[in-house]
Amino acid sequence: MTTISQTAGRSLRPSSSGGFFSTLANAAHALFDRLERRSAVKTLNELDDHALRDIGITRSQIEDAVYGQFKAELTRYL
């Protein structure tokens, strides 16, 4: 009797190690990105209203600007 060692052309070696490290790297990148954005929000919140006006945002627009959701008003100046 013959034993089939592969099914439908798939290798028996686990290919999840590359996927695991890729997922781990993506999670680390997402964590550092989140921490960096939180730091930017904190820094901008420490500025006075005049300094915020100089860079073209108001206090209520800080999080939208940092997280990339503030496009409509900024793009008219480009």
- Residue-wise pLDDT for 16-45, tens only, equals 567 899 999 999 999 999 999 999 999 999
pLDDT at 68: 85
Whether 20 is covered by a domain: the verdict is yes
> In this prediction, what percent of the chain has a pLDDT beyond 70?
67
Report the b/e string of 49-61 with b at 16+ CB within 10 A.
eeebeeeebeeeb
Predicted pLDDT of residue 5: 52
Please provide the average confidence, as pLDDT, over all residues in the chain.
Answer: 80
Contact 54, 44 (CB under 8 A): no
Is 63 contained in some domain? yes
| pTM for the structure as a whole | 0.61
| Domain-embedded: residue 61 | yes
60 within some domain: yes
- Domain of 37 in residue numbering reads as 16-77
pLDDT, position 69: 77
Q: Is residue 42 situated within a structural domain?
A: yes
In a domain, 6, yes or no: no
Q: How many structural domains is the chain composed of?
A: 1
Contacts (Cβ under 8 Å, ≥6 apart) of 61? 70
